[in-house]
């Protein structure tokens, strides 16, 4: 009996319709209450200048009722689209969590409750005959105005919520957060980790990606505590709850852990506030997605991404990179962190695209063009990594193609992928073939054959 009751309770409490139904009942209660107030005051509590006459009231109420139905349909459509996207892009098993989204249920409930309240209010409006003023439930109409404004605000908030919910990190967080809660429920007994017991370590209070670091504030905290702080995760790295965040080189008792935690921000996903590598990561992801199924799927999109990567690397190639060491006013080292260097950015920009797209001549030629251009402006100490990736692209191209002419074409340099440079290189290849052909074998090219045939046809027509 208890098991059946629990099953029914769970089914109802996690259903999509529970909150909308409760909101409808609440809307009926609000409507009956406001109408009772209007009847008790003989519909004269609010002046007609404030709520309008019977005709205006009917028109307003009808418009609101129609709008609320449209808004409710819109929210339901959005929910179905989100479910469909989640099933297609991620996992069908995530749908259950999306259907339990309280924000969606509350938005639907508010719109339907406003609709029900408006219908009940319309019944109380009387046009009146000649010489009769009619009756307008002023309190109920003002309540309709308030609910309409609230519905507009909820619609804007809901659109923002859906935009955030469609992010990959948000959907992953749904599964991860619920699993973590279930772990704490099923396995409540946990022994403290060694990191937590170590006083020289500052551990993360919650999980997330390191997206922001207050360097100056950390230097000030370390100076007051007369110690050196080592930030263990790099910017953009994920930190689990309880994971190592800082290592204290000095007296740990003098360091305020709460203030140290306030100097960093952990979020669900990386941002472009300080993380330059994340911007390049986005460009690389777009290129890889265009080449996901095959190098021929969408090489033009990959080339456009390489264009932007090339531009960003050209901006970085002659700039100084910080060493991750921060000093106070007296020149004492107070904070160290892991930072990206030039080699890291080059590897990030080209490694995955090379492996995924070298089978497309357009992609290979564009990568080689970018590398050659960067070599012309790179300082001597930054050239080796560019030369390494140029050699890797050429080696990958050599493995992908069997015909030497295809290898030669794909190993060219072209800022357009396959453009003017490809035509010039193709003509060079054809010229080399002709120059290497034996004298006794006269094998015309396709263009020459076409020309000869055309000349023969013209000659034959003149003879006839």
- 378-388: pLDDT as tens digits: 999 999 999 99
Q: Which helix (H) or strand (E) holds 163?
A: helix 138-165
User: Does the predicted model carry a pTM greater than 0.75?
Assistant: no
Residue 333 pLDDT grade (very low, low, confident, very high; cuts 50, 70, 90): very high
Please say if the pLDDT value at position 367 is more than 80. Answer: yes
Residue 98 pLDDT grade (very low, low, confident, very high; cuts 50, 70, 90): low
How far is residue 365's CA from residue 306's CA, in Å, rounded to a whole number? 11
- Summarize pLDDT for 63-91 with one digit per residue, the tens: 999 999 998 888 888 878 877 777 776 76
Q: What is the SS3 assignment for 325? A: strand
Q: What is the average pLDDT across 283-308?
A: 88
Please say if the pLDDT value at position 329 is more than 50. Answer: yes
Contacts of 361 (CB under 8 A, 6+ apart): 406, 409, 410, 417, 418, 422
Mean pLDDT lowest for which of 169-183, 206-220, 293-307, 432-446?
A: 432-446
The length of the chain is 464
Residue 221 pLDDT grade (very low, low, confident, very high; cuts 50, 70, 90): very high
Please say if the pLDDT value at position 105 is more than 80. Answer: yes
CA 378 to chain centre: 33
- Summarize pLDDT for 126-142 with one digit per residue, the tens: 887 666 777 889 999 99
264: β partners? 213
At residue 7's C-alpha, the angle toward residues 183 and 182, to 5°, is: 5
Please say if the pLDDT value at position 441 is more than 50. Answer: no
pLDDT at 352: 93
Please say if the pLDDT value at position 239 is more than 60. Answer: yes
Residue 446 pLDDT grade (very low, low, confident, very high; cuts 50, 70, 90): very low
pLDDT at 219: 95
| Contact between residue 246 and residue 231 where contact means Cβ atoms under 8 Å apart | yes
Q: What is the average pLDDT across 355-365?
A: 89
Mean pLDDT lowest for which of 176-180, 191-195, 306-310?
A: 191-195
Residue 448 pLDDT grade (very low, low, confident, very high; cuts 50, 70, 90): very low
Residue 2 pLDDT grade (very low, low, confident, very high; cuts 50, 70, 90): low
| Angle between the N-to-C axes of helices 18-40 and 102-122, in degrees from 0 to 180, rounded to the nearest 10 | 30
Highest mean pLDDT among 94-103, 158-167, 213-222, 266-275 belongs to 213-222
Q: What is the SS3 assignment for 265? A: strand
How far is residue 46's CA from residue 37's CA, in Å, rounded to a whole number? 11
Long-range contacts: 372-378, Cβ < 8 Å, 24+?
372/413, 373/310, 373/314, 373/415, 374/310, 374/313, 374/314, 374/317, 377/314, 377/317, 377/318, 378/317, 378/318
Q: What is the average pLDDT across 411-435?
A: 63
What percentage of the chain carries pLDDT values higher than 70?
Answer: 83
pLDDT at 303: 93
Contacts of 414 (CB under 8 A, 6+ apart): 365, 366, 369, 420, 421, 422
pLDDT at 422: 54
Average pLDDT over the chain, rounded to an integer: 83
Q: What is the average pLDDT across 402-430?
A: 72
Please say if the pLDDT value at position 421 is more than 90. Answer: no
Mean pLDDT lowest for which of 24-38, 243-257, 281-295?
A: 281-295
Please say if the pLDDT value at position 395 is more than 60. Answer: yes
H-only helix segments in 317-382: 342-357, 361-377
Considering only residues 168 and 6, tell me which one the structure prediction assigns the higher pLDDT.
Answer: 168
Considering only residues 1 and 322, tell me which one the structure prediction assigns the higher pLDDT.
Answer: 322
What percentage of the chain carries pLDDT values higher than 90?
Answer: 48
pLDDT at 176: 82
pLDDT at 296: 77
pLDDT at 81: 80
Q: What is the average pLDDT across 395-407?
A: 87
């Amino acid at each position: 009996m208890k098991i059946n009751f629990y099953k029914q309770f769970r089914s109802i409490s996690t259903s999509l319709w529970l909150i909308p139904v409760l909101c409808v009942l609440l809307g009926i209660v609000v409507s009956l209450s406001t109408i009772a107030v209007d009847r008790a005051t003989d519909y004269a509590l609010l002046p007609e200048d404030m709520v309008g006459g019977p005709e205006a009231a009917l028109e307003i109420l009808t418009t609101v009722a129609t709008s609320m139905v449209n808004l409710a349909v819109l929210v339901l459509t959005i929910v179905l689209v989100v479910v469909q996207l989640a099933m297609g892009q991620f996992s069908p098993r995530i749908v259950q969590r999306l259907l339990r989204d309280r924000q969606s249920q509350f938005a639907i409930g508010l719109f339907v409750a406003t609709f029900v309240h408006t219908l009940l209010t319309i019944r109380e409006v009387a046009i009146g005959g000649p010489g009769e003023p009619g009756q307008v439930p002023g309190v109920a109409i003002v309540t309709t105005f308030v609910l309409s404004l609230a519905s507009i605000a909820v619609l804007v908030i809901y659109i923002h919520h859906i935009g955030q919910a469609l992010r990959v990190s948000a959907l992953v967080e749904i599964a991860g957060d619920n699993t973590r809660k279930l772990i704490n429920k099923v396995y409540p007994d946990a022994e403290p980790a060694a990191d937590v017991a170590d006083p020289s370590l500052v551990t993360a209070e919650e999980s997330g990606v390191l997206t922001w670091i207050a360097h100056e504030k950390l230097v000030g905290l370390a100076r007051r505590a007369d110690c050196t702080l080592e930030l263990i995760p790099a910017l953009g790295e994920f930190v689990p709850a309880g994971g190592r965040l800082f290592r204290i080189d000095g007296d740990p008792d003098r360091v305020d852990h709460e203030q140290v935690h306030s100097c960093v921000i952990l979020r669900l996903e990386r941002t472009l506030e300080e993380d330059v590598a994340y911007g390049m990561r986005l460009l690389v992801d777009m290129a890889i997605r265009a080449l996901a199924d095959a190098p021929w799927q969408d090489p033009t999109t990959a080339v456009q991404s390489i264009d932007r990567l090339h531009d960003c690397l050209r901006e970085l190639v002659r700039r100084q990179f910080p060493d991750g060491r921060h000093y106070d006013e007296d020149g004492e080292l107070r904070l160290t962190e892991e930072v990206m260097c030039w080699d890291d950015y080059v590897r990030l920009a080209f490694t995955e695209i090379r492996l995924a797209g070298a089978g497309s001549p357009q992609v290979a030629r564009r990568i080689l063009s970018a590398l050659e251009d960067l070599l012309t402006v790179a300082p001597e100490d930054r050239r080796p990594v560019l030369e390494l990736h140029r050699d890797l692209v050429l080696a990958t191209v050599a493995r992908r193609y069997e015909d030497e002419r295809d290898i030669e074409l794909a190993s060219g340099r072209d800022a357009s992928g396959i453009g003017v440079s490809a035509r010039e290189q193709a003509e060079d290849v054809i010229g080399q073939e002709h120059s290497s052909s034996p004298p006794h074998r006269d094998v015309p090219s396709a263009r020459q054959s076409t020309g000869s045939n055309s000349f023969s046809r013209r000659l034959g027509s003149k003879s006839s």
